[in-house]
Every structure is written in structure tokens, then in C-alpha cells.
Structure 1
Amino acid sequence: MSQAADYLIYRAKSFKLHGVHSPFVFNLYHQVILHDGAFYAYPRVEAVREDLLANGKTIEVTDFGAGSKTINYKSRKVSDIARTSLKPAKYSQLLFRLVNHFQPKYVFELGTSLGITTAYLAEAARKAQIYTFEGCPTIASIAKANFDYLQLRNITQVTGNLDETLQQQLSQIPQLDFAFFDGNHRYGPTMRYFEQCLAKAHEGSVFVIDDIYWSSEMKRAWQEIKNHPQVGQTIDLYFVGLVFFRKTQPKEHFTLYY
């Protein structure tokens, strides 16, 4: 009920950018976010998704995050994980378009799951270095098989608890150009990982926060991120929030229909 109310409020507040005096946000919205054309990667990755949805194999899952709202047991079918955990094509392909547009060199994904969003990120910027973090070794191994099948060679997998792996990996890169936060849907870890990644961000960096209305903790984290002194502009698309650090523009927050 709470999420339904949140969505109704979002729809009431969202708009389609008519008359907005921000060329950057206007162009991004119309040319990237709302882009409805096809890309070569879409059928390749979606075929892998279909295979995962049909995979009845049962595996043991280690979960360091907030867990699933629908599946609470450790032994799970791959098909059930795919059904409940994978980002829908609409949002996975949005990530592809964002990376394709900005062409980052260093990309972090906090939360690999079965590797669908990772594949989209890697397909969008073949010359980029994609670092994807997953807590569960069994799930990470399935993701790796998908990367091998798609012949994606620009992905580095980091397996283990993000509290132990994120800072170490951040110390090995010169900057963080793009980050997708989908690793732990709780306030404390979300803000901790955001602050750690912020240390390597720059004016052109793009952060994407997943499930910003997933819980009261995520709503609190999203509000705090919006108000952070280093954050310049944000775009609320309901299921994800986009964060920018552009100092050449005023601090602004947009709620856009998607």
C-alpha cells in the first residue's frame, strides 16, 4: 500500500520537461531516457534473461543485503531469482543507454545478481572497465557463465561482502565515472557505499540509485543523497534515481515521467 501511494504521488509530481530551462536535463530526457529505438545488445541480453527465467536449477544463496521481499529462504531456483531480482528490460536498457551516451571509462555495479544489468553496462561501453560486486559466490558463478556466453571481456567480478571489497577496489582506480547502486537496500549501507564512491567521483560522474522507493530506509537515503552538498542535480524516475555532480549548473531536482 505504501509503494502504491508513493507511485501515485510520483505520477502527480512527474512531468515531461516542457519549458524546463536546463538543456542538459532536457536533452538527456528526450534523447536518452525516452529513447525507444532498438540497439544491437537488446536481443542478445534478453535471450539470456529468457534462459534464466526457464532455469529450474536450485542453488544455495548467501545474501548480505536487505534480501528479497518475496523469497526469504536460502535454497532458491535460478528461475525464481531471475523473476524477482533482475531489473526489468525497461530499466536494464535505460542503464545501457546512459552508459552508451556518457561513455565512462570506469564503471562500478554494486550488486551483480545473475548479470543481466552487468551485461548491458558492458555492451554499452566495450572499452570501459566494468567492476561488478556480488556477495554470493554461487550467483556470481552463474553471472560469469552468462558473461562468457556473451563474450564480454571487459568485466571484472568482485565476490564477497561489499563492506570488505568496495573500498579496496576503489583504491585501485583513478576515478569513478559511472556507478549503479543495487547492492544493499538499507539506509546505512546505501549511504556508506555512496560516500565511499563519492570520493572518486568528478563533475562528469553519473550515479544511479536503484529502488529509491523500495522501503522507508531507501526513501530516507534518496532524500539525503539529494540534499548532499556535493550533489548537483538529480532525476527521480521512481524505480531509479539519477545523480549528477555538474558544478556549471544550479542544484536542481527533477521528477520525470518514465
Structure 2
Amino acid sequence: MILDYIKYLLKAKDEHSLHSPFVFEFYTKVLKNKSYYTEYDVIETLRKQLLSDKRIVNITDFGAGAKTNKSIQRTVEDIAKKSLKKPSLAQLFFRIIKFYQYKSILDLGTSLGLTTAYLGKANNEITLKSFEGCAETAKIAQENFNKLALKNFEIVVGNIDETLPEKLQKTEELDFVFFDANHRYEPTIRYFELCLEKAHDESCFIFDDIYWSEEMKQAWLTIQNHESVSVSIDLFWVGIVFFRKKQPKQHFILKF
């Protein structure tokens, strides 16, 4: 991954190299937006609490699992240290949803719920479904959502292979999806194709850890080359795609 990151740094561009008006606007008004929103404060306060939470959780993992700690018993503190998205990434997701006024949100991989909270706090009209395989982790996430007074959300507990198709049958369209449930090629592509059926011209899909493994690198390559994807953006930590039919198909590696 270190070599991949060096390659990314050598290739990453800023706004001076962008000739696409849509991507230029995304880069200058969303990605590099330095505004600090008050919603960040309460979520980051909760992060500090989780980073010192000694409670033991019995983990049920249907995905690729943790690279550094594969124990079925972990402390909340350890999960928070290893699994929570960095504030800069979670706050980027918040800004994307806020800027484009997305309302129908899916979060594939709740964990302790901090990133989910950023998604849910981006505007007051959001309907959010967050999927989590581990019932004990989902219980703690629910506690966190209650503390944050997060509204119009649902935690869907169980194997996402079963729960995602079921929920999508009852979903008309998707504005924004964050894929962080299973870091393997086949499930990632399968979830992408399932959600793609509900995507529209302005939808945004974000894929976590696109350089996490050879399987994830291959999955990201498959996704960015998919015929439905018009704009793909590599930020190293995540990959972002848009489906704007009138947009020329282009791939961007941007500084973050």
C-alpha cells in the first residue's frame, strides 16, 4: 500500500489541471471547502468518548475482516481506533451530501456509527438506511444515534447479502451510497450492481479502501471502467463515482 500511496502522490492533481466544469466545482467547492460546520462538534466529541470506551464487543464479521485484529472479542476503544473513518473523510461525505442536497442515503457498513452520523446530519430531509452485520456493534451504534438525536434513519442488522436486496426492493432511487461492508472483489461488485439499478443521473457512490488489497484495487478498476460511470475520482483512501450521462467519461486522481 505504501508504494500505491507514493504513486498516488506523484499523479494527484489540483484545480489547475481540471478542465471539467463539474469536477472543478466539486474540487473547489466541496473537496477543498474548509468551512467548519457546527454538526462536526458533537460527532467529534462522541469520537473521543468511543476512543476510551473499554466495553467488550463480540464481533460477527461477514466481510473480509480486520487486518490487524481478527479476534471475535474486541473493545469499543479498539474498534474506534482501527475502524472509524478519519474526520477529514467523514466530513467530506457530509459536504458532498450537503452541497448536492442528497436525500436518499445508503451506508453499507455501520460499525460504531460515526461516519453514518456525518451522513445523517448533512441535511434535515435525509432518509438513511445503514447496514451492519454485527448485532452487538449495531447496538452501540444505535446508542450513539440516540445521543446525537439522529432522525429518519434505520439500522439494518444481518448479513448484507440478504438484507441489501430486500431493502432495495422497497427503495425507489438512491442519491448517495457509501460502500464499506465487504472488502473483497465479488461482493463489492455485486453490491455496486444492485445499487446501480436504483441510481440516477445525479447519484454519487463512494467506495472505501480502494487500495486495501489486490481484490479492492481490481474492484475499483472494474467500477471506474463500468459503462454507467461517467466520472471517477481517486482520492487514494476512497474512490468516488458519478453517473452523469451528458458528462464525458473521465478518470481523475485528485489531491486530498
Asked if TM exceeds 0.5, the reply is yes
1:73 is aligned, of 71, 74, 78, to: 71
SS of residue matched to 2:16: coil
Offset from partner CA, 1:105-162 (integer Å, 9 cap, x none): 2100000000001100000022110000000000000000000011111211100001
Offset from partner CA, 1:181-209 (integer Å, 9 cap, x none): 00000001000000000000011000000
Indicate the residue corresponding to 1:12 in structure 2. 10
Q: Residues 132-151 of structure 1 correspond to what in structure 2 (within 5 A)? A: 132-151=130-149
Could you tell me which runs of 5 or more consecutive residues in structure 2 were left unpaired when the two chains were aligned. Answer: none
Indicate the residue corresponding to 2:208 in structure 1. 210
Q: How many residues align?
A: 256
AA partner of residue 154 (structure 1): N
2:169 is aligned, of 171, 195, 211, to: 171
* Alpha-carbon distance between aligned partners in 2 of 1:234 and 1:101, rounded to the nearest angstrom: 18
Indicate the residue corresponding to 1:184 in structure 2. 182
* Alpha-carbon distance between aligned partners in 2 of 1:216 and 1:19, rounded to the nearest angstrom: 29
* Alpha-carbon distance between aligned partners in 1 of 2:84 and 2:132, rounded to the nearest angstrom: 13
Could you tell me which runs of 5 or more consecutive residues in structure 1 were left unpaired when the two chains were aligned. Answer: none
AA partner of residue 113 (structure 2): G
Indicate the residue corresponding to 1:109 in structure 2. 107
* Alpha-carbon distance between aligned partners in 1 of 2:33 and 2:42, rounded to the nearest angstrom: 19
Query: TM-score, normalization: structure 2?
Result: 0.99
Q: CA offset at residue 168 of structure 1?
A: 0.7
* Alpha-carbon distance between aligned partners in 2 of 1:242 and 1:208, rounded to the nearest angstrom: 5
Indicate the residue corresponding to 1:35 in structure 2. 33
* Alpha-carbon distance between aligned partners in 2 of 1:176 and 1:31, rounded to the nearest angstrom: 23
1:122 is aligned, of 108, 114, 120, to: 120
* Alpha-carbon distance between aligned partners in 1 of 2:94 and 2:167, rounded to the nearest angstrom: 23
* Alpha-carbon distance between aligned partners in 2 of 1:102 and 1:161, rounded to the nearest angstrom: 31
Q: CA offset at residue 21 of structure 1?
A: 1.6
Q: CA offset at residue 20 of structure 1?
A: 2.0
Offset from partner CA, 1:217-238 (integer Å, 9 cap, x none): 0000000001101111111000
| Divergent runs of 4+, >6 A | none
Indicate the residue corresponding to 1:49 in structure 2. 47
* Alpha-carbon distance between aligned partners in 1 of 2:87 and 2:204, rounded to the nearest angstrom: 20
Q: Give the superposed CA RMSD.
A: 0.7
Q: Residues 228-239 of structure 1 correspond to what in structure 2 (within 5 A)? A: 228-239=226-237
AA partner of residue 46 (structure 1): E
* Alpha-carbon distance between aligned partners in 1 of 2:11 and 2:110, rounded to the nearest angstrom: 32
Query: TM-score, normalization: structure 1?
Result: 0.98
* Alpha-carbon distance between aligned partners in 1 of 2:114 and 2:177, rounded to the nearest angstrom: 15
